[in-house]
């Protein structure tokens, strides 16, 4: 249902992602956003899951920000296919963080070795999202937990983005996949893990409203204004993008 993309398409997405991460000030801005959105959630998780210094934590697609730094406890193993060139991560990582370059579809870890796996805003960047979830399931212990979040879109916006993926000049190169909230939940369920709790981290009403700090200016192009108008007035959706997070466990 959720498919996979070619190696060439994935490399194009990764190249753009790498370019974006190397813009001056972007890592600091993204970390500010992460703290604003997730600090309270991670503090709550740390308490409810009973994390200790020995808890094994997997950070999937960590980028240079390494969101699992929000946990005060645990031994972190963080990886990203671009980590070889995201030099900021080397200085940001703390003593209890092990960094490596790897792909989510081929995780270099043994079966059932992690207590918690975290994956924030990664699956729509991958070559094969369902395989990444399968690898997370493989590497997490039977009684382990999964914290997975993603930007999802209103049904009409998702339709437009999926059409755009087939038309090169309309394509969002960095994001090969687009999901509605329901598609996101189905994909998680099909991977063999059960959602226990969910959070609506952020809701945006236009195409640049992702909860960034500071917020970027809206896209005023005719095409974009038409999509937003149709989404709100014809398809009656009061939102454009929602950042959802799920706490899940193995079924």
* pLDDT for residue 220: 92
Contacts of 79 (CB under 8 A, 6+ apart): 59, 60, 61, 62, 99, 100, 101, 102, 107, 108
Domain over 7-250 is classified CATH 3.40.50.150: yes
Question: Is pLDDT above 70 for 218?
Answer: yes
DSSP 200: E
Question: Is pLDDT above 90 for 113?
Answer: yes
For the chain, what is the mean pLDDT? 94
**Residue 179: exposed, middle, or buried by beta-carbon count in 10 A (0-12, 13-18, 19+)?**
buried
Asked if 247 and 145 count as a contact pair (C-beta separation under 8 A), the reply is yes
Nearest Cα to 8, choosing from 108, 127, 167? Answer: 127
State pTM to two decimals.
0.95
């Amino acid at each position: 249902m959720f498919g996979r993309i070619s190696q060439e398409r994935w490399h194009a997405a990764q190249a753009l992602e790498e370019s974006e991460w190397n813009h001056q000030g972007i890592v600091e801005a993204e970390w500010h956003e992460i703290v604003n959105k997730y600090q309270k959630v991670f503090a709550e998780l740390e308490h409810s899951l009973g994390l200790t210094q020995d808890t094994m934590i997997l950070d999937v697609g960590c980028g240079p920000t390494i969101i699992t730094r929000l946990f005060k406890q645990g031994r972190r193993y963080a990886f990203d296919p671009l980590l070889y060139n995201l030099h900021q991560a080397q200085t940001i990582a703390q003593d209890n963080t092990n960094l490596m370059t790897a792909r989510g579809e081929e995780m270099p870890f043994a079966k059932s070795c992690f207590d918690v796996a975290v994956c924030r805003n990664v699956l729509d960047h991958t070559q094969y999202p369902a395989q990444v979830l399968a690898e997370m399931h493989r590497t997490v212990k039977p009684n382990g937990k999964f914290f997975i979040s993603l930007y999802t879109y209103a049904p009409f916006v998702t339709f437009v983005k999926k059409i755009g993926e087939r038309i090169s000049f309309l394509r969002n190169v960095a994001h090969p996949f687009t999901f509605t909230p329901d598609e996101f939940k189905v994909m998680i369920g099909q991977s063999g893990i059960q959602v226990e709790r969910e959070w609506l981290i952020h809701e945006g009403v236009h195409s640049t409203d992702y909860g960034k700090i500071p917020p970027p200016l809206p896209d005023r192009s005719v095409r974009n204004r038409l999509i937003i108008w149709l989404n709100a007035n014809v398809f009656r959706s009061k939102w454009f993008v929602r950042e959802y997070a799920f706490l899940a466990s193995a079924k």
